[in-house]
Homo-oligomer: A and B are copies of this chain.
């Protein structure tokens, strides 16, 4: 038995009940049921209605299941951008969304700030010709978060009917988003939902659907089995076009039900409390230095710090105590650490991590 607690930014610690739900799924042979059966439709509907409740999702939004956030980046461009997208870039993942638009042959432009910095909306000119505006609520690579008030303020700064897409891969369901001020958001289940990887969740409103339908009506290819129209027609019947990751949809429904019982308010409050424990420690640490200078731009879910001691050394020190933290992203692997603060991590576990880090590296 591995007792290690993973404070890595995803895949991360599983939500504590997941092994139990997985055992139950095996006992009940969920892995063998048909993806066209009523039993599967019930599993699908359970996950969707739980998410609707947890996120307080308006009725004009659909919940769609795809394979990864990478796939959602691709499907977003394919289905809603005929010519041009615009990206706010402040790290590796927001930049990857921008690149994907280019790889799909679209004209993509970006407004980029240095790694570790956030945006000041007043200095950004959004091109009127952009059909999609890509925001990243939480940059998993840099630990920069876009304040929800800024996410909400983008609409008022657009002069067109551009669709606003919010990458919340490593923060959903923590940000309290007003969905009427955006058009789409998406996340991966292996971050804040504490599930095994292999499922991306895409929230899209009627404006996204209308755009995809209009493109399709004009003879434009919007993909095939995972076009928005194909996904939507199956979603209405609580199914997916292909045989999906049934086990993960089942597990998502179970975990979301527990999150709803706990209450999103308490989950958000705990996240704040744990983030303060970590940031307060990083501030007084002699080894670490908070990577994001501007407090308003600091992520509460993926916390990044510069480190004097290489990350691999820190993890060697932590290993006997059954803890692991994430290394920096890309070429920052050894001189930054990333500490995940997800709902799967209890306040006590975070407290124990802070004590241990303080003892081991100062």
Residues of A whose CB lies within 8 Å of any CB of B are 1-2, 4, 6, 8, 10-14, 18-19, 22-23, 26-35, 67-71, 73-74, 99-100, 103-105, 188, 190, 195-199, 221, 223-227, 241-248, 326
User: Would B2 and A100 count as touching, CB distance under 8 A?
Assistant: no
Contact for A69 among B69, B103, B242, CB less than 8 A: B242
Contact for A245 among B27, B71, B99, B197, CB less than 8 A: B197
User: Would B243 and A245 count as touching, CB distance under 8 A?
Assistant: no
User: Would B2 and A196 count as touching, CB distance under 8 A?
Assistant: no
Determine the residue in chain B with the shortest Cβ distance to A20. B26
Chain B residues with Cβ below 8 Å from A35 are 11, 197
Contact for A227 among B1, B68, B103, CB less than 8 A: B103
Chain B residues with Cβ below 8 Å from A14 are 29, 31-32
User: Would B196 and A246 count as touching, CB distance under 8 A?
Assistant: yes
**Shortest beta-carbon distance from A35 to chain B in Å:** 7
Given A6-B29, A27-B2, residue A11 in contact with residue B243 (CB < 8 A): yes
Contact for A246 among B32, B100, B197, CB less than 8 A: B197
User: Would B22 and A2 count as touching, CB distance under 8 A?
Assistant: no
Chain B residues with Cβ below 8 Å from A100 are 224-225
User: Would A198 and B247 count as touching, CB distance under 8 A?
Assistant: yes
Determine the residue in chain B with the shortest Cβ distance to A33. B11
Contact for A225 among B70, B105, B195, CB less than 8 A: B70
User: Would B1 and A242 count as touching, CB distance under 8 A?
Assistant: no
Determine the residue in chain B with the shortest Cβ distance to A188. B243
Q: List 6 A-B contacts (CB under 8 A).
A: A1-B28, A8-B32, A10-B243, A19-B27, A71-B225, A73-B225
Copies of the chain in the assembly: 2
Bound Cα distance from A12 to B247, whole angstroms: 13
**Shortest beta-carbon distance from A84 to chain B in Å:** 15
Bound Cα distance from A224 to B10, whole angstroms: 22
Determine the residue in chain B with the shortest Cβ distance to A4. B29
Further pairs besides A30-B196, A196-B246: 13, Cβ < 8 Å:
A1-B27, A2-B28, A4-B32, A11-B33, A11-B34, A19-B26, A35-B197, A67-B71, A68-B243, A70-B224, A70-B243, A71-B225, A196-B247
Given A22-B22, A103-B224, residue A197 in contact with residue B11 (CB < 8 A): no
Given A33-B11, A224-B74, residue A246 in contact with residue B19 (CB < 8 A): no
Bound Cα distance from A19 to B22, whole angstroms: 9
User: Would B195 and A104 count as touching, CB distance under 8 A?
Assistant: no
Complex A-B, nearest 7 residue pairs according to Cβ-Cβ distance, in ascending order: A198-B245, A70-B242, A31-B196, A67-B67, A68-B242, A19-B26, A6-B32
Chain B residues with Cβ below 8 Å from A221 are 103-105
Given A33-B11, A224-B104, residue A198 in contact with residue B70 (CB < 8 A): no
Chain B residues with Cβ below 8 Å from A74 are 223-226
**Shortest beta-carbon distance from A217 to chain B in Å:** 14
